[in-house]
Amino acid sequence: MIGINEGPGRKKGVCGLQTGRGVKRKLAAVLAAALLLPAGTVLAEGTDDLEDSLVLPGVDSQEIQEKIDDVSVLKGVKVNGNTAADPDAEGSDANDTAALEVLPGVTVDVPVKSLEQAQLMRSIFTGPRLEIGATNPQVASLQSRLMELEYFENDEVTNFYGPVTEFSVELFQRCHDLQVDGIAGEETLKLLYSDEAKMYTIYPGNIGLDVKNMQLRLKELGYFKGTATGRYGDETEKAVRSFQKVNGLFVDAKMGTQSRDVLFSPNAKAAPKPKPATPSNGSSGYSGGSGAEGLVSVALGQLGDRYVWGATGPRSFDCSGLVYYSLNHSGVRVSRFNAAGFSQVSSWQRVGSVGALRRGDLIFFKSDRSSRVSHTGIYLGGGQFVHASSSRGRVVIGAFGPYWRRNFVCGRRVF
């Protein structure tokens, strides 16, 4: 439902906008003007009623109309002589709304999700470009949406558009056959915030580090016999299909959430006649000793190393890559799992609360939008943990603030 609120001390009419019957039909048009026109644009004087049209002086109405038609939250809005559709049909069941001031003293309550999308689209028309190096409040919303679709590893969001955000956008663009440039431009944002946006999936023909890690794990399980090149070709597709069949998954050669979570878990079934293989993940030979202190020592030795999606060291890591590296360099031989996979190792004692954690325990988190385990780290004690942070772009020491406490799932005690 879209409603109107008047600021204190304001007259009911603003540029002819009346708060009487039928006003909700006009607010979509006002919202369009607020989002798409440069700051300081004034509506034409003498517009007694917006029921029939919205006059936008000094702009190309056809160009504005095309932009409006491309934004789902503004669907149905018409300019220059056309009627504005009733926005009540959009978002009427939304429970969470936020106020947006569209004219001095007049605010419009819109669904929060629609507001986030609208603000992002406005940044394309009137704000700075969303690209690497940019600092923009809209980046946090962008990261949140990418996390929801699993292109961005779960972490606290920031306003900075760094290399990790750029790479996540590139993954999204690759998955949707867009130009892969890492820039969250108009076409990318429209698709990202639409119902057509797909969850992160690795497809035949893709090239990247994520493909290489998939090949390495398939090789460890005996499905893939070739060299892990990072190119998803015919041999890799045959291996993925075989893996999916043996593990009771839908056989389509697409490595989506379900297939990835099985592949990078202790529950993955090896090929009927597995070929022994040692994962070639680039060990530096560093060893911090055994036991919990050895594990912590190895992890702390990586502080400051870069965050890179899918990396397992020795100079760059993602969150599960850091745990994998630290375990293997402290006397625990373990396969390359993802965060969800490490959380399922039943031979390690499960720790159900933050208060029961001990130094050296592995810790696991979900996100605000999903119950799926999507981040991991190593507990240091005193409410602190070491982890490879996607939002900060490196291995850092974090603290159990509100975000991590409410998203804590469990710990696993290896030693």
Q: Which backbone phi and psi does 139 adopt, to 5 degrees? A: -65, -35
For the segment 349-365, the average pLDDT, to the nearest whole number, is 95
- Residue 295 contacts residue 327 (beta carbons within 8 Å): yes
At residue 154, the pLDDT reads 87
Q: How confident is the model at residue 388 (pLDDT cuts 50, 70, 90)?
A: very high
- pLDDT confidence band for 25 (50 / 70 / 90): very low
The structure tokens listed for 88 are 């009540």
Q: Express each pLDDT in 245-296 by its tens digit.
A: 999 999 999 999 999 999 999 999 999 864 444 443 433 444 556 789 999 9
Superfamily (CATH) of domain 291-413: endopeptidase domain like (from Nostoc punctiforme) (3.90.1720.10)
Quick one: average pLDDT of 137-166? 92
> In whole angstroms, what is the distance from residue 239 CA to residue 225 CA?
8
Peptide bond into 314 cis (omega under 30): yes
Architecture of domain 128-192: Orthogonal Bundle (1.10)
Sequence-distant (≥ 6) Cβ neighbours of residue 236 within 8 angstroms: 204, 211, 214, 215, 218, 224, 226
Predicted confidence at residue 164, as pLDDT, reads 93
* Whether residue 139 has pLDDT greater than 70: yes
Q: What pLDDT sits at residue 50?
A: 38
Its pTM stands at 0.64
Q: Residue 22: pLDDT above 80? A: no
Higher pLDDT, 23 or 178: 178
Q: Are strands 408-413 and 349-351 parallel, antiparallel or unpaired?
A: antiparallel
Coil vs helix vs strand at 106: strand
Q: Token match 């760059």: residue?
A: 316
Distances in whole angstroms, Cα of residue 93 to Cα of each of 57, 112, 185, 196: 34, 12, 30, 21
* Distance of alpha carbon 134 from alpha carbon 290, whole angstroms: 43
What is the tens place of the pLDDT at every residue in 303-316? 999 999 889 988 99
Pairing status of strand 316-317 against strand 306-307: parallel
| pLDDT higher than 90, residue 170 | yes
User: How far is the C-alpha of 71 from the C-alpha of 394, rounded, in Å?
Assistant: 35
DSSP letters along 116-133, please? HHHHHHHHHHHS---STT
Query: Which tokens sit at 220?
Result: 């460890």
Half-sphere exposure of 275 (CA within 13 A, CB side): 11
pLDDT at 97: 63
* pLDDT at residue 192 is higher than 70: yes
Give the residue, 328 or 61, on which the prediction is more confident: 328
Q: Determine which of 95-99, 107-111, 181-185 has the lowest per-residue pLDDT on average.
A: 107-111
Every domain of the chain with CATH number 1.10.101.10 lies at 128-192
Backbone angles phi, psi at 11, to 5 degrees: -75, 160
Q: Considering only 46-50, 134-138, 359-363, which range has the smallest mean pLDDT?
A: 46-50
By C-alpha distance, which of 374, 353, 354 is closest to 364?
Answer: 374
Instruction: State yes or no: pLDDT of 191 exceeds 70.
Output: yes
Known catalytic residues are: 319, 375, 387
pLDDT tens-place string over residues 43-65:
443 344 433 334 444 445 555 55
The model's pLDDT over 213-234, given as tens digits with 9 standing for 90+, comes to 999 999 999 999 999 999 999 9
pLDDT at 4 over 50: no
Q: What is the mean pLDDT of the chain?
A: 77
Q: What local confidence, expressed as pLDDT, does residue 296 receive?
A: 94
Stretch 10-27: mean pLDDT? 38
Stretch(es) of the chain classified as CATH 3.90.1720.10: 291-413
